[in-house]
């Protein structure tokens, strides 16, 4: 395990670490805000609001003292930037930073992040790089690798059932009955609580399960499609592409380089 923990200025600290697949970082908080990025590999970040899948082209922003846990799904090279909340308070015009989010890391943002690790010498340059990173986060494109958890206990019961068995063929009527709620109410609760219909939410849960299973490299794409209840590899690839933005094969190659 390689670790580097370098203070740049009092307001920014870098932290680089390698983690093996299967590593779990239990629920915790940092005093600072954290920008969490993996140059390779896949992780899952869980917050009180839901779960984020984070492949290499994504970065997670976590506000100060924000509870989160990390599950490493494929060997990763993690790069974290920690921003002092006092310094963030002086960064005007960045309202997005008050909540957690995941963004696509375009080439400029990636270069800015990695530059802080390559040249950690204190100075005005570091301050400007940190400010530019925050500005780029404000402008970066949101990604759809998030699955929100409903707060309503009935809808949450259904959601947890799906997450425990993503390939289950139980329909909403069966799941609603087990949760003690009518199908009509359950149908209404999901978009109200998660901004996704029940069908969309379940599809996303299955894709997240597929990505987690990909980390072990023990299943072919065809086996994944069948195991998770997709009618064909084509149907699986289409659903995967809608959520992740690339084919399952491309994602696997990118996340698990040989």
Domains of the chain: 3-139 (2.60.120.810), 150-255 (1.10.10.60)
Q: Is the pLDDT of residue 3 over 60?
A: no
Burial class from Cβ neighbours inside 10 Å (0-12, 13-18, 19+) for residue 199 reads exposed
CA 42, CA 51: separation in Å to the nearest integer?
A: 13
CA distances, 129 to each of 34, 37, 51, 74, 110 (Å): 16, 16, 29, 29, 12
pLDDT band at 237 (very low <50, low <70, confident <90, very high): very high
- State residue 64's pLDDT score: 94
What's the CA gap between 162 and 231, in Å, rounded?
18
> Among 154, 22, 25, 6, which Cα is nearest to 81's?
6
Q: pLDDT value at position 121? A: 65
> Who contacts 30 (Cβ-Cβ below 8 Å, separation ≥6)?
62, 64, 65, 66, 82
Measured distance CA(248)–CA(258) in Å, rounded: 16
pLDDT tens-digit series, residues 136-160: 998 877 666 778 888 899 998 999 8
* Per-residue model confidence as pLDDT tens digits over 173-224: 999 999 999 999 999 999 999 889 999 999 998 998 888 787 666 789 999 9
For residue 258, is pLDDT > 50? no
Give the strand pairing for 33-38 and 58-62.
antiparallel
> What's residue 33's pLDDT?
95
Neighbours of 146 (CB within 10 A): 24
Helices (H), 31-152: 85-88, 107-118, 124-139
pLDDT at 180: 95
The pLDDT tens digits of the residues spanning 24-75 come to: 999 999 999 999 988 777 888 988 888 887 877 789 999 999 999 998 877 8
């Amino acid at each position: 395990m390689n670790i580097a923990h370098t203070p740049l200025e009092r307001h920014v600290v870098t932290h680089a670490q390698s983690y093996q697949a299967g590593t779990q970082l239990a629920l915790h908080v940092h005093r600072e805000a954290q920008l969490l990025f993996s140059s390779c590999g896949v992780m899952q970040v869980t917050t009180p609001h839901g779960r984020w899948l984070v492949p290499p082209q994504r970065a997670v922003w976590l506000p100060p003292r924000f509870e989160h846990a990390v599950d490493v799904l494929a060997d990763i090279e993690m790069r974290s930037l920690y921003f002092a909340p006092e310094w963030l308070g002086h960064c005007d015009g960045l309202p997005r930073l008050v909540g957690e989010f995941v963004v696509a890391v375009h080439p400029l943002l990636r270069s800015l992040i990695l530059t802080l690790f390559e040249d950690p010498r204190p100075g005005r340059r570091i301050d400007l790089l940190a400010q530019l990173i925050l500005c780029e986060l404000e402008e970066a494109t949101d990604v759809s690798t998030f699955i929100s958890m409903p707060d309503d206990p009935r809808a949450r019961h259904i959601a947890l059932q799906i997450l425990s068995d993503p390939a289950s063929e139980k329909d909403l009527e069966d799941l609603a009955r087990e949760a003690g709620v009518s199908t009509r109410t359950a149908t209404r609760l999901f978009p109200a609580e998660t901004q996704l219909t029940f069908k969309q939410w379940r599809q996303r849960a299955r894709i997240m399960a597929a990505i987690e299973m990909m980390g072990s490299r023990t299943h072919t794409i065809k086996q994944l499609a069948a195991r998770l209840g997709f009618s064909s590899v084509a149907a699986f690839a289409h659903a995967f592409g809608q959520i992740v933005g690339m084919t399952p094969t491309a994602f696997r190659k990118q996340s698990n380089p040989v």
